[in-house]
Amino acid sequence: MKLFPKYIFLSILFLLFINVYGQEIKVYDQFSDFEPLLQKSNDTTYVVNFWATWCKPCVKELPEFQALNKKFKDQKFKMILVSLDFKNQVETKVKDFIREREIQAEVVLLADSKQHLWIDKVNPEWSGSIPVTLIYNDNFNFFKEGSMIFEELNELITNNIKK
């Protein structure tokens, strides 16, 4: 019984740690279940970035997105980082990466292997390489295949976010 309070104390510490940097990652096996994240219709501006831990330019640009998320997260703004990592690496590689990089934006994993059926649904201009970034709200749509920097992102959000 003496151990009990200590156990609770450690658990709370552990949970706090998990909550801050060790988020659960939702895995989408079917694109159709994931697709609503690209079609939300409300007053929020969404930034959706497709990336992977194995993608060097993606990893390089992530701090730019983290800075953007930090600046706007308390406004009508939502960032979703869509990992295209391999499903069997979610619990290891992807989670470790998120914890190490202290990523706070929501991370999901899209595992639908029939890529040719969903690439065009994300955007017909997309050839299939990553990183790719979509920014959208009710009256604004942006798509870019290739890396982005904070200044570019910041300007797009500042000009289009709803007050």
Q: Which residues pair with 134 in a beta bridge?
A: 48, 143
Residue 6 neighbours by CB under 8 Å, 6+ apart? none
Element (H, E) at 11: helix 3-21
* Rg from Cα positions in the chain: 17
Among 119, 150, 161, 162, binds other proteins (CB under 8 A): 119
Let me know the angle formed at the C-alpha of 66 by 61 and 68, rounded to the nearest 5 degrees.
100
Query: Interacting stretch for other proteins, rule CB under 8 A, among 7-15, 72-80, 93-101, 109-117?
Result: 109-117
Site string for other proteins, 53-92 (x = CB under 8 A): -xxxx--------------------------x-x------
In the complex, minimum distance from the CB of residue 58 to other proteins, in angstroms, rounded to a whole number: 9
Note the residues at the interface with other proteins (CB under 8 A): 54-57, 84, 86, 113-116, 119-120, 126-131, 145-146
